[in-house]
Amino acid sequence: MQKKLTKWVSSNYEIELIISPAELDKAKTSVIKEFQKDMELPWFRKWFVPLDMVESGIKPEYLQMWIYEEVVNLWIQETLQESPQIKFIWEPYDFNQKKEAEETIITMKLDAYPEVEIVDSNRQSEKIDQIDTSVSQEEIDNAINSIKKNYADYQEADTITLDTVSKIFVEYVDWDWNVADKSHIYLWDQEFAEAKFFPDTFIGKKKDESFAIAYDTKTLPTLLINQKETLTIKEIRFIIKDVKRVVLPDLTSETIEKLFGKESEVKTHEELIEYIKKEIAKQKEDNTLMQAIDGFLQRVQSKYMKVYIPQTLVLEEFKVRLKSFEERFGWEDKLKQYYTQIWDEKKAQMMEEIKTSSKFSLEKFFILQKITEELWIIVDRQKSDNLEVEKQIYQKLYWKEQGSTAPKEATKEKKEPKAPKKPTKTKAQE
């Protein structure tokens, strides 16, 4: 059997097999003998049914398919032995076959794990900026406010103000004055801060009050855009169903004890501020570290390295991401329901975006792998945290460029305070 292996730029190979009639007959005999092992006929012991009788019991199209699979498997085994440096990804695709004289020619493609190509050796000139973990007073205030919200009191109110949370019933009315769709929205400080439309429209409105406005996608915030009936809606109606004033608690020693527990070292307001600072700093360190490494990898990919991801890997990553997307919607049935509510064009665009992000994510993965090899980074996954690779890259690239040594991890001199307890249900939810 003659075989030809041609490498393409997209991390795949084109395979051409030229098979003689004698080789096809040999493969055919091998396939029939495999079927012979399981075939049982009267007057014959298992494994002793004549081969011509075994062949007559197999559909010709199935027999032909198994013959070609036998030939391909044989070629793959030989190629793996002859080219151990190539890491092939199962399985072959784009099968084609044709006859030339008495020979059969089979062509196919087979993907391989990608290799990162160095296009510019000046990668060492790229630096990573120092990570900023300083904590601002605004960040502390926001964290304190978030803790207070978890233990807020909700009192009945008549009028919507900036310190209230309200439940709004929404109706979408079409041009025939029929209700095309309806839903509920909740307005609090986040919605008031995100879109000027909400305070301008709802501040001062009273409980049980109703009103309508023209439906205009150019002026409405995203929360109120109806994807399902956009082209048929004339106006949008609101009914203020409930209004509650949010009363935030003072963080006294008694309240802090409820949050952290009696055994916690956080007992005063000052100790709470220090705990919050540490937590914010740690979170900022992780986030900024990821951003710094991500930006570094993007620069490396655009200037110094390139990698072609084969379609087999892209499709596998696409399936994983799609499954994750299904889980967010409550599995496939609810995802299909969501699909029926969006335009076909938007659905196709969403699928294409998932494929693109799959390819981009894999490119970053292989570039990151190449960088770790260059920097001689070895990570014991069983003993390290999730960001160990990123931390080592940062230490080698930033601290080395600054002519200094990486900072040592601070030793823990005392027990870390326990995190605040999370209430199972807020009064607003009740």
Per-residue pLDDT of the chain (430 residues; tens, 9 = 90+): 788 888 887 678 888 888 888 888 888 888 888 888 877 777 777 777 788 888 888 888 888 888 888 888 887 788 778 877 888 887 788 888 888 888 888 888 888 888 888 988 888 788 888 888 899 999 999 999 888 888 888 999 999 999 999 999 999 999 989 998 899 999 998 899 999 999 999 999 999 999 999 999 889 998 898 866 656 899 999 999 999 999 988 888 888 887 778 888 888 888 889 999 999 999 999 999 999 999 899 899 889 999 999 888 998 898 888 888 777 666 556 555 555 555 455 667 777 888 888 998 899 899 999 999 888 888 776 655 678 888 888 888 876 555 544 444 433 444 555 555 555 444 444 4
Burial of 394 (0-12, 13-18, 19+ CB in 10 A): buried
Supply the pTM of this predicted model: 0.59
Structure tokens at 33: 């003998």
What domains appear along the chain, each with residue ranges and CATH number?
2-113 (3.30.70.1050), 153-247 (3.10.50.30), 255-401 (no CATH)
Taking alpha carbons only, the member of 147, 139, 112, 84 closest to residue 6 is 112
Return all residues near 319 (Cβ < 8 A) that are at least 6 apart. none
Q: Are strands 12-19 and 210-214 parallel, antiparallel or unpaired?
A: unpaired
* CA contacts within 13 A on the Cβ side of 80: 11
Report how far Cα 236 is from the mean position of its chain's Cα atoms.
Answer: 35
Q: Give, as one character, the DSSP assignment of residue 122.
A: G
Q: Are 223 and 187 in contact (CB under 8 A)?
A: no
Crossing angle between the packed helical segments 269-303 and 344-374, to the nearest 10 degrees: 90
CA 29 – CA 31 distance, rounded (Å): 5
Crossing angle between the packed helical segments 269-303 and 253-260, to the nearest 10 degrees: 50
Q: Give, as one character, the DSSP assignment of residue 428.
A: T
Cross-strand bridge partners of residue 7 = 13
Number of other CB atoms surrounding residue 51 within 10 Å: 13
